[in-house]
Amino acid sequence: MQKVYGVTVDDDLNQIKNWVDWKEVTGQRLELFGSEYYSAKAIGEEKTVKWKIKYVSFVDEIDTNDYRIVNTRTDEIFDIKDTDYLQDDGQWFIIKAEKSGDLSG
């Protein structure tokens, strides 16, 4: 996962977030399917995936503005859209994220 560490401004006065590696987390990628996929597609969010990770205390810090997921296996970048706790014994955490690009550019 990465976290924003400051913002710079380019020559055209565009704000650019400076991303730094924050925590390495192992998670399971869960594709949307069925009615959940079609609901996402209806609003243009068919690139959304869920990540299931083991709950650790630092996940409480994650927000949708200052954090993102980098899949190091595929070099894909995902913007976090929502987070939620599974309705279980508190061991799992779900991050809903949408693919926004690749590390290669």
Give the start-to-end residue ranges of the domains of the chain.
2-102
pTM here is 0.82
Given a cut of 70, whether residue 5 has pLDDT beyond it is yes
Read off the pLDDT of each residue in 74-93 and give the average, rounded to a whole number. 88
User: What number of residues does the chain have?
Assistant: 105
Query: What is the topology classification, in CATH, of domain 2-102?
Result: Thrombin, subunit H (2.40.10)
Read off the pLDDT of each residue in 9-16 and give the average, rounded to a whole number. 93
Cβ-Cβ contacts under 8 Å for 31 (sequence gap 6 or more): 37, 49, 50
Given a cut of 90, whether residue 70 has pLDDT beyond it is yes
User: Quick one: what percent of the chain has pLDDT higher than 90?
Assistant: 57
